[in-house]
Amino acid sequence: METLMAVAVGLLFAVGVYLILSRSLLRIVLGTSLLTHGVHLLLLTMSGLKTGAAPLLGEDAGRYVDPLPQALILTSIVISFGVTSFFFVLAYRAYQKLGTDDMEQLRGQEDEY
Amino acid sequence: MNNMVVLPLLIPLFTAVMLIFFHKRLTIQRWISGVSSLASVFVSVWIVLEVREEGIQTLHMGGWLPPYGIVFVADMFASLLVLTTSVVSAACLFYAFRSIGADRERNHFYSFVHFLIAGVMGSFLTGDLFNLFVCFEVMLIASYALIVLGGTRRQLRETLKYILINIVSSTLFVAAVAYLYAAAGTLNMAHLSVRVAEAGQGGIMTVIAVLFLIVFSLKAGLFLFFWLPGSYGAPPAVVAALYGALLTKVGLYAIIRMFTLVFYHEPGFTHTIIGWMAAATMILGGIGAIAYKDVSRILSYNVIAGVGFIAFGLAAANRTALEGVIYYLMHDMLIKALLFLLGGIIVALAGTDKLQQMGGLITRNPLLGWMFFISALAMVGVPPLSGFIGKLLIVQGGLESGFYWTTGISLALSLLLLTSMLNIFMNAFWGEEKMAGDGIWKSPRLLLVVSAALLILVIFLGVGAEWVDPYVSQAADVLLDAQLYIDAVLKE
């Protein structure tokens, strides 16, 4: 199971990196969000995917899954959600003001201070 | 257990939340910001003295013993950096009162600054890897907001790049944490150190160490600094001063902490890489600093060169070099803030960032000119001033460890940096007067007073080296012997 997940994470990373290297701003934002999906799956996978009850004491099971990475992922999801929404709004403002979403045209120009 | 340890984080956090309610009331905002920054300085001094008296102070959040809960650790190294941070941020805040402009102030400028400071303080004090990640994010998100606040075309453009780089490096950070958790099964730094020592730093641990090195190098601008000069040129001077003084240094602190506490078993491999990266950073930073003809880029490349120099001290990794690192880190935070603040006044008075269009400022602003001159000398490390001792110790430590080439580079770098600073000084202050400046800030008196206060500290750090030495030496003890840190955290 871990092998399968590792392959999936690898695919997400590959697609994310490919999108980040493209020219259009929107693709870059999508690439970063795929990349964060990748690391969240990685965090879940690396703590082990052994079977066990959900980490609720009411389940009264013999063994539970590791609760720590779930907390870490939850934290990381919220942070990346905040950052992604900021990035989207920033991309929108930049498109309004700069009039392009092509990263090639967003090089520094001397005349716009 | 010492509840004071969390105060450097809590004061700016609480202040930032308070300021949200008063964002239209500029006077109240300034008063709250000023008082809180002075309170921060006071508390930091208190913590440094406490650590000096009683050794490493820890705080177990919620009473959960480590490694199960989050622990805050104030050893002397972290406390000194906290103190320097609070001094620098207080100076930047007072500078901002006069320079930042009502539009930005009304739009939560001071809240963002305080959130930034809270993130920096948390990063210095935390003893938990994931908590370090969260504090990094607090700092970074505040920095995204600060760099784009104002919304000029240049700021928007540079923020897009800055935010992208930092999202990628934060993603790598989480990946590195995931690998380390799988390999060691814990996230508490002291406990990690124990586990890594038990299991031995084999192939996988070294790979994870290198991954952490990449992550923190991206944040610190160590070799992977391609994003830095553009980003630091975009925001107003006071924001650039905060960045130049604090953000890269937090990355450096994380590198130093990880490679003296957790991954110190294979120095032949990891520290050699750090040494190479440091040498490359110094060369490239030095070239950049003399290549450009505008103030903000010269100062940005000086930041990069300083980062390379500190990393070189870490690579040398003996007692002399590490004492030099601590000394130079404190000096570098103060002096980079000071230079960016003075650079901001120069740019505002001359009305341009380009050196060719400046000239003759000395006739109307002799005080500014000589302050800039002295701080340039201090940055390069001319003996009575603060840069000297740190540089001397790092060079000495580098020679002791046999890094002859890198030591040579670091000495040559000092010349390049001196050239770059004198470039600014001679072009801006000498020559005939070309006052293009519309005098955006009519009376830079408060700005000069703030800069003078920083300058006095810089001079004091150099002249009073004897007095600072026991503190630096105590900080180096922990960096040299991880067991002191582990005992303080895990055995109580």
Whether A83 and B167 lie within 8 Å, measured CB to CB: yes
* Closest CB to A90 among B148, B178, B182: B148
- Taking the CA of residue B232 and the nearest CA in chain A, the distance in Å comes to 13
- Taking the CA of residue B375 and the nearest CA in chain A, the distance in Å comes to 28
Whether B153 and A47 lie within 8 Å, measured CB to CB: no
ipTM above threshold 0.85: yes
Which residues in chain A are contacts of B144 at CB distance < 8 A? 83, 86, 90
At residue B386, the pLDDT reads 87
Q: B488, B474 in Cβ contact below 8 A?
A: no
Per-residue confidence band for A105, with pLDDT thresholds at 50, 70 and 90: confident
Whether B167 and A87 lie within 8 Å, measured CB to CB: yes
Which residues in chain A are contacts of B170 at CB distance < 8 A? 79-80, 83
At residue A110, the pLDDT reads 54
Closest CA in chain A for residue B174: A39
Closest CA in chain B for residue A36: B171
Closest CA in chain B for residue A93: B156
pLDDT tens track for B130-166? 999 999 999 999 999 999 998 888 899 899 999 999 9
pLDDT tens track for A7-54? 999 999 999 999 999 999 999 999 999 999 999 999 999 888 888 888
pLDDT tens track for B255-277? 999 999 999 888 889 999 999 99
At residue B138, the pLDDT reads 95
* Closest CB to B174 among A28, A43, A86: A43
At residue A111, the pLDDT reads 46
- Taking the CA of residue B228 and the nearest CA in chain A, the distance in Å comes to 14
Whether B181 and A47 lie within 8 Å, measured CB to CB: yes
At residue A50, the pLDDT reads 83
**pTM value?**
0.94
Whether B181 and A28 lie within 8 Å, measured CB to CB: no
A2-50+65-106: CATH number: 1.10.287.3510
Does the beta carbon of A105 lie under 8 angstroms from any beta carbon of chain B?
no
Does the beta carbon of A21 lie under 8 angstroms from any beta carbon of chain B?
no
At residue B357, the pLDDT reads 83
- Please name the residues between 77 and 96 in chain A that touch chain B, using a CB distance below 8 Å: 79-80, 82-83, 86-87, 90-91, 93-94
- Taking the CA of residue B68 and the nearest CA in chain A, the distance in Å comes to 10
Does the beta carbon of B50 lie under 8 angstroms from any beta carbon of chain A?
no
At residue A9, the pLDDT reads 95
- Taking the CA of residue A64 and the nearest CA in chain B, the distance in Å comes to 16
Per-residue confidence band for A108, with pLDDT thresholds at 50, 70 and 90: low
* Closest CB to B174 among A28, A39, A68: A39
Does the beta carbon of B415 lie under 8 angstroms from any beta carbon of chain A?
no
Q: Mutate which of A75, A88, A89 to disrupt the B interface (most B C-beta within 10 Å)?
A: A75
Which residues constitute the domain of residue B425? 3-490
- Please name the residues between 217 and 236 in chain B that touch chain A, using a CB distance below 8 Å: 230
Whether B171 and A82 lie within 8 Å, measured CB to CB: no
Whether B178 and A93 lie within 8 Å, measured CB to CB: no
Three-state secondary structure along chain B?
Answer: CCHHHHHHHHHHHHHHHHHHHCCCCHHHHHHHHHHHHHHHHHHHHHHHHHHHHHCCEEEEHHHCCCCCCCEEEECHHHHHHHHHHHHHHHHHHHHHHHHCCHHHHHCCHHHHHHHHHHHHHHHHHECEHHHHHHHHHHHHHHHHHHHHCCCCHHHHHHHHHHHHHHHHHHHHHHHHHHHHHHHHCCCEHHHHHHHHHHHCCCHHHHHHHHHHHHHHHHHHCCCCCCCHHHHHHCCCHHHHHHHHHHHHHHHHHHHHHHHHHHCCCCHHHHHHHHHHHHHHHHHHHHHHHHHCCEHHHHHHHHHHHHHHHHHHHHHHCCHHHHHHHHHHHHHHHHHHHHHHHHHHHHHHHHCCCEHHHCCCHHHHCHHHHHHHHHHHHHHHCCCCCCHHHHHHHHHHHHHHCCCHHHHHHHHHHHHHHHHHHHHHHHHHHCCCCCCCCCCCCCCCHHHHHHHHHHHHHHHHHHHCHHHHHHHHHHHHHHHHCHHHHHHHHHCC
At residue B220, the pLDDT reads 92
Which residues in chain B are contacts of A15 at CB distance < 8 A? none
How many structural domains comprise chain B?
1
Whether B171 and A32 lie within 8 Å, measured CB to CB: yes
* Closest CB to B178 among A36, A42, A106: A42
* Closest CB to A97 among B153, B179, B181: B153
pLDDT tens track for A64-102? 999 999 999 999 999 999 999 999 999 999 999 888 888
Spans of chain B, pLDDT less than 70: 1, 435-443, 492
* Closest CB to A36 among B159, B171, B187: B171
